[in-house]
Amino acid sequence: MMTKLILVEGLPGSGKTTTAVFIANWLQERGVDTAVFLEGDLNHPADFESVAYLDRQEYVELLAQFPAETAFLQSQVIQEGEGYSFRYRALQQSYPHLPEPLINTLAQHEIYEQPVPTFQRLLRRRWQRFVETAVPGNTTYIFECCFLQNPLTMLLGRHDEPVDVAEAFVLELADVVRGLRPCLIYLHPGEVRATLTRIAGERPSAWLDFVIAYHTQQGHGRAKGWQGFDGLVQFYEMRQAIELALLPRLSFASLLLTHSDWSQDQAYIAAFLAQTFPA
């Protein structure tokens, strides 16, 4: 069976998006049906992007709080076991007339802000459902940053879970997707501080302010007393070390790219993919 899932991981500024697009083009040139989902894709089939989760009582309270939108909410809700979810940013895009207080209320129930057991249960089941759908199909999916980055950022950056707990959850997800014969390409552009300094000059200041606050004012960063840009560097250095240590423990093949020459990286990626997608 061909690989049906290619994961692209690495720190911000490592070239994940460029790499994911290159992989998609390489596969399409060889007649492989592909689907690419980049960071922030509101229609991601395996991850949660701007999705709210409410238990039954919270759902009842939501309907009571917004009676004029009750019928609409009932038509858009997604049953998640004993709970209810809404793709609130996607809804906001599709229905711009929705009242802002409703969107803000849903955002307060963001899945990536849920208690750890709830988050892990929902994300595990999300990946399981994706695998169930993808296995019988002929599509190869390319995912950017949702397999290592997102769970580790939530478990460590948001909640300061022990490292072994975070690692165990990633390895559990690796077992979930094993039936897709996945592979992972990890981008290591070099020294973390230099990489972050470069992209800080390329992205809006609001982005840098947000990631500094997220990684230093809560979770592991706060527990360690990490502050400001230096604290962000410390967090990413830690996360990268964890990710690199996880690669050989995964139940599938991975490629570590440590070169900064893009043409050379393309050759390495093509050779790696050719092992699964022969010409």
Per residue of the chain (279 residues), give pLDDT as tens.
Answer: 689 999 999 999 999 999 999 999 999 999 999 999 999 999 999 999 999 999 999 999 999 999 999 999 999 999 988 899 999 999 999 999 999 999 999 999 999 999 999 999 999 999 999 999 999 999 999 999 999 999 999 999 999 999 999 999 999 999 999 999 999 999 998 899 999 999 999 999 999 999 999 999 999 999 999 999 999 999 999 999 999 999 999 999 999 999 778 889 999 999 999 998 876
**Same-domain status, 135 and 28:** yes
**Same-domain status, 123 and 60:** no
d(CA 107, CA 117): 19
DSSP symbol at 110? B
**Same-domain status, 34 and 122:** yes
Asked, for residue 279, whether it belongs to a domain, the answer is: no
**Same-domain status, 166 and 56:** no
Asked, for residue 162, whether it belongs to a domain, the answer is: yes
pLDDT at position 279 is 67
**Same-domain status, 141 and 235:** yes
Residue 163: both structure tokens together: 């490292």
Q: Which residue segment(s) compose the domain that 25 sits in?
A: 5-47+116-274
CB 183, CB 2: distance < 8 Å: no
Give the domain-ending residue among 109, 133, 148.
109
CB 51, CB 67: distance < 8 Å: no
Give the domain-ending residue among 94, 109, 124.
109
Q: Taking the model in full, what pTM does it have?
A: 0.95
**Same-domain status, 69 and 167:** no
Asked, for residue 187, whether it belongs to a domain, the answer is: yes
Asked, for residue 72, whether it belongs to a domain, the answer is: yes
pLDDT at position 259 is 74
pLDDT at position 123 is 97
Give the domain-ending residue among 87, 109, 131.
109
**Same-domain status, 23 and 58:** no
**Same-domain status, 16 and 145:** yes
Q: Per the structure, how many domains does the chain have? A: 2
Phi, psi of 21 (to 5 degrees): -65, -40
**Same-domain status, 30 and 158:** yes
Report the CATH number at residue 176. Answer: 3.40.50.300
pLDDT at position 61 is 98
pLDDT at position 277 is 85
**Same-domain status, 167 and 71:** no
**Same-domain status, 96 and 224:** no
**Same-domain status, 263 and 228:** yes
pLDDT at position 261 is 86
